Structure 1
Amino acid sequence: MSQATSPIAPVAIVTGASRGAGRGIALALGSHGCVVYVTGRTLSAGDHALPGTIGETAAAVTAAGGHGIAVACDHADDAAVEALFAQVMAEQGRVDLLVNNAAAIYDELMHPGGFWEKTIKLADLINVGIRSGYIASWYAAKAMAAQNGGLIVFTSASGAAHYSLGPAYGAHKVAMDKMAFDMAVDFRHARLDVAAISIWMGALLTDRLKAIIASDTKKYGHLEGACEHPEFTGHVIWEIFNDPNRATLNGCTVVGAEVARQYGLTDEGRVPPTSQELHGVTPIAFHAKEIR
């Protein structure tokens, strides 16, 4: 059973948080005292090839100083997402922060060849990634509009603006950026104090990437020195959430490593490189034209 918590603590939902970026973001938010609902499909060790479960992440959030609550949720199932938000509203009465991180990431993304030569299941990124982010944001926006406050975050990457791992991955990343932009237009039109942003993460030193680096150090070994720790993005999100000028970022795609410098944040003492420094790539500038 979830325990009642103080309404003073911000209530966050981090999707896809059994491991990787989601786990790191959840832990960072927990270290700032947030109530964090940790969603995912991995309930027991051994359910996935990589380590990590939602229960383990929730316990780590609590150990970090927050209050972690694990909720089993398949984000391909709209009814499960609806039930998630119903639970959060019943237990907390509000949603302050949604981090859309759930995505169907398969090792086959790294395989050589054209997209037609790889497994067709890579298209799952359209459902668990693009569509699931929209559905979760739809429920979060209803709660945030009613309370007139909140932040929706999409985790993205520079693959939104250059070729990376094929069209399914690229479509997912650019969709994160565009959804944040368009949701922000609607929030402004409704004169709500609700913001949506997309944040480009760098390569993350997750268990998955560690395994990839170990599999071919000649090809991937250079990544380790340029990686961000998974918690880094969570600390950036926390700064944005508390920024009194947050509205200026509404609808923006921001580069986490770049924004971190503006807030004076480091990643365990080091300053990660930005996408522009690594690849000469910056977020796409969308036009302000509105057609309704």
Structure 2
Amino acid sequence: MTENRVAVVTGASRGAGKGIALALGAAGMTVYVTGRTRAEGGADLPGTVSGTAEEIDARGGTGVPVICDHSDDAQVRALFERVEREHGALDVLVNNAFTIPDGLTDKGPFWEKPLALQSMFDVGMRSAYVASYYAAPLLIERDTALVVNTSSFGGRCYMHGPAYGAGKAAVDKMAHDMAEDFRPHNVAVISLWMGLLKTERNRALFDGVPDRYESFAAGAETPEFSGRLIDALARSADPMKWTGQVLIGAELGAELGVTDIDGSRPRSHRGMLGDPPTFSAAVVK
């Protein structure tokens, strides 16, 4: 990888994307931070793209805030045109933008939940494809580069219903198939199953009912752990070793010697939630 590394992290006003962006910034990267929130109060939860970028600067990286609605292909294209003008290439793309509709975690069958849950197919599944499409010419300019789709065990087990599960399974398979196309260009593509995260949303949940969620909170990862994993993977001697795979973050951390910000080692939920999928090696073109 080049010394002046450039990353794009989508959906990084808050949550997993913010933690990933901060960790990459702390590793010295220039990080383009995308999201829709311009100012505090513009969303139900705290966090803005400029706030994330400023914190990246404070940690030694360079944060570049970009207001971008990832449901709008023209805005996504403009984002990567800007990266091309300013840097000419891209080292790391993290497809993290994701919409969380009201009713996602409601109890009951899918037909009793809002039909709007299908919006996860747009900002989530589809947005990962579009961002990768426009980023591809920049990624192949590097000797080696990395694409990460953030995902979860919901791609394999029942989690929040079929809309959520279908979206996560899709980005997992997308990583596998994009890896085949990127392979001749030495661009590694993986899908990363994160554990329960200490995001702004989940912290509010933990604090609201501490007795109920105490055990969950104790085993949660910080969002920055995922960013540390991505940086370690990008810096590894052979990122192509993992290309096309769905990886459990906690297990990748153990393999790469990466710890969370407090020095702890998050534990894998494989035993409770299941194994990552194994895809066929067959290639039909």
TM-score of the aligned structures, taking structure 1 as reference length: 0.94
Q: Is the 8 A contact 2:91 2:142 kept in 1?
A: no
Matches within 5 A, 1:106-125: 106-125=101-120
For residue 218 of structure 1, report the CA deviation from its aligned partner: 4.6
The aligned counterpart of 1:232 is 225
Corresponding letter in the other structure for 2:122: N
Alignment of 1:266 with 2:223, yes or no, is: no
For residue 147 of structure 1, report the CA deviation from its aligned partner: 3.8
For residue 217 of structure 1, report the CA deviation from its aligned partner: 3.7
Corresponding letter in the other structure for 1:29: L
Corresponding letter in the other structure for 1:84: L
The aligned counterpart of 2:277 is 284
The aligned counterpart of 1:155 is 150
Alignment of 1:11 with 2:6, yes or no, is: yes
Moved more, 36-45 or 260-269: 260-269
SS of residue in 2 equivalent to 1:110: coil
Q: Is the 8 A contact 2:101 2:119 kept in 1?
A: no
The aligned counterpart of 2:236 is 243
For residue 148 of structure 1, report the CA deviation from its aligned partner: 4.6
Corresponding letter in the other structure for 2:222: H
Moved more, 102-111 or 198-207: 102-111
Alignment of 1:55 with 2:79, yes or no, is: no
**Partner Cα separation in structure 1 for residue 3 and residue 248 of structure 2:** 29
SS of residue in 2 equivalent to 1:239: helix
For residue 145 of structure 1, report the CA deviation from its aligned partner: 2.3
Corresponding letter in the other structure for 1:276: R
CA 1:258–1:245 in 2, change beyond 3 Å: closer, same or farther? same
**What do the CA deviations read for 1:180-219 (whole angstroms, capped 9, x no partner)?**
100011122xx21111111110000111011222344454
Give the fraction of aligned pairs with identical amino acids, expressed as a percent: 46
Alignment of 1:275 with 2:269, yes or no, is: yes
- Structure 2, gaps ≥5 residues long: none
The aligned counterpart of 1:257 is 250
The aligned counterpart of 1:20 is 15
Corresponding letter in the other structure for 1:132: S
The aligned counterpart of 1:203 is 196
For residue 286 of structure 1, report the CA deviation from its aligned partner: 0.6
Alignment of 1:185 with 2:184, yes or no, is: no
CA 1:224–1:166 in 2, change beyond 3 Å: closer, same or farther? same
The aligned counterpart of 1:36 is 31
Corresponding letter in the other structure for 1:35: T
**What do the CA deviations read for 1:37-80 (whole angstroms, capped 9, x no partner)?**
00000000000010000000000011111000000000000000
The aligned counterpart of 1:97 is 92
Moved more, 115-124 or 215-224: 215-224
For residue 133 of structure 1, report the CA deviation from its aligned partner: 0.3
**Partner Cα separation in structure 1 for residue 263 and residue 93 of structure 2:** 27
RMSD value over aligned CA atoms? 1.3
**Partner Cα separation in structure 2 for residue 26 and residue 212 of structure 1:** 23
Matches within 5 A, 1:127-166: 127-166=122-161
Corresponding letter in the other structure for 1:122: L
TM-score of the aligned structures, taking structure 2 as reference length: 0.96
**Partner Cα separation in structure 1 for residue 15 and residue 152 of structure 2:** 14
SS of residue in 2 equivalent to 1:109: coil
Aligned length: 283
For residue 107 of structure 1, report the CA deviation from its aligned partner: 4.4
- Structure 1, gaps ≥5 residues long: 1-6
Moved more, 90-99 or 106-115: 106-115
Identify which of 65, 70, 90 aligns with 1:70. Answer: 65
Moved more, 71-80 or 144-153: 144-153
The aligned counterpart of 1:4 is none
**Partner Cα separation in structure 1 for residue 147 and residue 257 of structure 2:** 23
